[in-house]
């Protein structure tokens, strides 16, 4: 086993990797030029990552270190490899990135979920499919298909909620400024989650966010673009 391993949420097709949080970590590792292997993990594989003391991915095993939670991993990588390219710029940059993290977790993810959640079971294996449907229908209080049934109308409110991001990206190519930083990977993880699980188009082609997403798909020799999607 490689010295650095990322436990990464996978679909029935084990090459399909769709967790928005795992994508944050993956892009962060690429940015830091730290080689890593990935291991496909499924929602119902709780035992496989029990050694991390919790039940969610990403889990990063880095030599002797075991770290879970995407923000904790980002922080760990910054502290442990200060000479590798920073994804925050400076300590203040890391603190300022927190707001983008919370905005994506609290506004972008929930808004996006209401548009794509019924598509996700189609990429899952049998036991994950049952787990996902049951847990998410409990969370939303209705069948997955009902959540997304109005998506052709609700897309308008979703796109409107992205307006502050759009206004930034009319002034600079990345949330991080002239180059992509962890802030960009946080937001990109959300779009890659949708891209890997759904064919529902979230952005209009003329949207500056669409062009930004293209730049992110091109990053690291097109790593995310080449990754299997639905």
Interacting residues with a second copy (CB under 8 A): 86, 88-100, 102-103, 105-107, 163-165, 167-168, 171-172, 174-178, 181, 183
C-beta closer to a second copy: residue 163 or 218: 163
Q: How far is the CB of 74 from a second copy (least distance, A)?
A: 13
Nearer to a second copy, 41 or 88 (CB): 88
CB of 102 to a second copy, least distance (A): 4
CB of 46 to a second copy, least distance (A): 26
Find out whether 171 and 159 touch, Cβ atoms under 8 Å: no
**How far from the centroid of its chain's Cα atoms is residue 80's Cα?**
22
CB of 94 to a second copy, least distance (A): 7
Distance of CA 183 to the CA centre of its chain: 11
What whole-number distance in Å separates Cα of residue 128 and Cα of residue 120? 10
Please say which residue, 120 or 183, places its beta carbon nearer to a second copy. Answer: 183
Read off the DSSP letter of residue 85. P
Q: Length of the chain in residues, anyone? A: 230
Q: How many CB atoms lie within 10 A of CB 176?
A: 19
* Non-local CB neighbours of 159 within 8 Å, separated by 6+ positions: 202, 203, 204, 207
- Minimum CB separation from a second copy for residue 148, in Å? 23
Which residue's CB is nearer to a second copy, number 58 or number 176?
Answer: 176
Host H or E run for residue 223: helix 208-226
Residue 46 vs 167, nearer CB to a second copy: 167
Smallest gap from residue 220 Cβ to a second copy (A): 19
Nearest CB to a second copy, comparing residues 61 and 187: 187
Torsion sign, CA atoms 57, 49, 81, 15 = negative
- Residue matched to tokens 């997403």: 213
């Amino acid at each position: 086993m490689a010295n650095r391993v990322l436990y990464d949420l996978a679909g029935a097709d084990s090459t399909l990797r769709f967790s928005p949080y795992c994508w944050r970590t993956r892009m962060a590792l690429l940015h830091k030029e730290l080689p890593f292997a990935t291991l496909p993990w499924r929602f119902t594989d709780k035992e496989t990552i029990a050694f991390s003391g919790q039940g969610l991915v990403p889990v990063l095993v880095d030599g002797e270190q075991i770290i879970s939670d995407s923000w904790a991993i980002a922080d760990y990588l910054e502290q442990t490899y200060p000479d590798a390219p920073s994804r925050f710029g400076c300590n203040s940059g890391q603190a300022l990135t927190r707001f983008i993290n919370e905005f994506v977790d609290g506004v972008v993810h929930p808004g996006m979920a209401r548009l794509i959640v019924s598509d996700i079971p189609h990429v899952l294996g049998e036991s994950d499919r049952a787990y996902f449907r049951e847990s998410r229908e409990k969370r939303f209080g209705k069948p997955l298909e009902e959540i997304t049934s109005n998506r052709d109308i609700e897309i308008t409110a979703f796109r409107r909620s992205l307006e502050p991001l759009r206004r930034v990206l009319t002034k600079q190519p990345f949330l991080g400024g002239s180059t992509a930083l962890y802030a960009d990977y946080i937001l990109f993880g959300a779009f890659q989650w949708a891209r890997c699980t759904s064919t529902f188009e979230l952005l209009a082609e003329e949207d500056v966010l669409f062009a930004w997403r293209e730049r992110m798909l091109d990053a690291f020799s097109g790593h995310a673009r080449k990754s299997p999607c639905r």
